Amino acid sequence: MKNTQVTSLLLDRLEHIPADSVWAHHASGVRGSLLNIVEQIEDGQQVESANMNWLISYGFQILEEVAREKISGRRKSADTTQ
């Protein structure tokens, strides 16, 4: 999978992080930076691949943390209903 495909997938996932998530602010920043890079690529400009790779990596880390947050929230909800 190319970086552009990964970036598109990641942008979509980051956009759907709930606003009440602890990670929403981080996701918004990474998403904005990635959108700027995509715009630069579309304009034919050179982009720093190290910066893009770091943003992609951090974006996936955010998704992992949001998933943990959701799982943790479900466990707490299940514990209180029992």
State pLDDT tens for residues 48-74: 999 999 999 999 999 999 999 999 887
Contact assessment for residue 70 and residue 34, using Cβ atoms and an 8 Å cutoff: no
Q: Per-residue confidence at 22, pLDDT binned at 50, 70, 90?
A: very high
Pick from 67, 50, 63: nearest CA to 9:
63
Q: How many distinct structural domains can be found in the chain?
A: 1
Q: What is the mean pLDDT of residues 70-79?
A: 75
- Structural domain span for residue 21: 3-81
Q: Per-residue confidence at 31, pLDDT binned at 50, 70, 90?
A: very high
pTM metric for this prediction: 0.85
